Amino acid sequence: MASVSLIHVGNITSIAPGVTHHLHWNNAPAQRVWAVSVDAMVSLTIPPQIGTTTQLQVTAVEYREIFNGGSSFEKEIHFWIKNTGTVTANYAIHMSMVAE
């Protein structure tokens, strides 16, 4: 029977408009289905105007296997998050994992 898990990857402060962050997870387990999500948060370092909206987009998710020689492989998940809005934002990253 399949199981679903949610992993809180971390919090990031300050991604400027138009900027893309690239993050990755080394030694990711194999035989899983991965999904990355992001919770956008208005940055309060400079008081925003009422109605300020943040917009973030997960632009890509890649699962890579890297051959290290012999019978050694490293598995990685790479993902990119872009601020598609007009104000600096903070965000929290989550990954969902489906395993059998």
Q: What spatial distance separates the first Cα and last Cα of the chain, rounded to whole Å?
A: 6
Residue 12 burial (CB count, 10 A):
17
How far apart are alpha carbons 25 and 11 in whole angstroms? 15
Q: Which residue carries 């998710």 as its tokens?
A: 61
How many folded domains does the chain comprise? 1
Domain containing residue 20 = 3-99
What is the band of 89 on the pLDDT scale with cuts at 50, 70, 90?
A: very high
Element of type H or E holding 39? strand 32-42
Q: Pairing between strand 56-69 and 32-42?
A: unpaired
pLDDT per residue as tens digits for the range 16-44: 999 999 999 888 888 888 899 999 999 88
pTM of the prediction? Answer: 0.84
